Amino acid sequence: MSIEVFNGSYTASLWADAHNDALVESAVTAGAIDWDLKRTAWGVVFEVAFRTEAEWELYKLSEAVRMALQTAPEPETGVLIYRGRSLDTGPISPRKPKPKVGSGANALALPTEWRIIETLPPFLSEDVFGRPLTSTGSR
């Protein structure tokens, strides 16, 4: 479950600082297995996870949640309560590692000896001054 509170007449961060302890205590009492508070540019998101729907309903109807929501910066238009995590958090489980590039194959060894396969055409057999090149490419 996520409770998203938007900034309003005062910042949602101040609201979170005032009510975070009560929200966490109530969540643990109701059977929460995980919780997190995220601060965003537009407000805060309090995420809490339960094992069963009954625990979630118990938490949602608790006095701490009702009091916190009534004192939100904009209690009528600036509060969202929804099942699941907020959209900016990503997946619950960590991402699987990507496969190695080239399937982890080793690079081929370079040849230690070079052979001249064919002779160069006449216009490539001289350097820029017209001097003949040797097999090592120098004069």
112, two tokens = 């230690």
SS3 113: coil
Q: What pLDDT score was predicted for residue 139? A: 47
Domain boundaries, the chain: 2-82
Could you read off the pLDDT of 51-110 as tens digits, one per residue? 888 898 899 899 999 999 999 999 888 898 887 765 554 555 556 666 666 555 666 777
Could you read off the pLDDT of 8-50 as tens digits, one per residue? 999 999 999 999 999 999 999 999 999 999 999 999 999 999 9
Give me the half-sphere count of Cα atoms (radius 13 Å) on the Cβ side of residue 63: 0
What confidence tier does 137 reach under pLDDT thresholds 50, 70, 90?
very low
Average pLDDT, the chain: 80
Using a pLDDT cut of 70, give the percent of the chain over it.
68
SS3 122: helix
Token pair 């009492």 in the structure block, residue: 29
- The CATH number for 2-82, chosen from 3.30.70, 2.40.50, 1.20.1260, 3.30.450, is 3.30.70
Do the beta carbons of residue 100 and residue 42 sit within 8 Å?
no
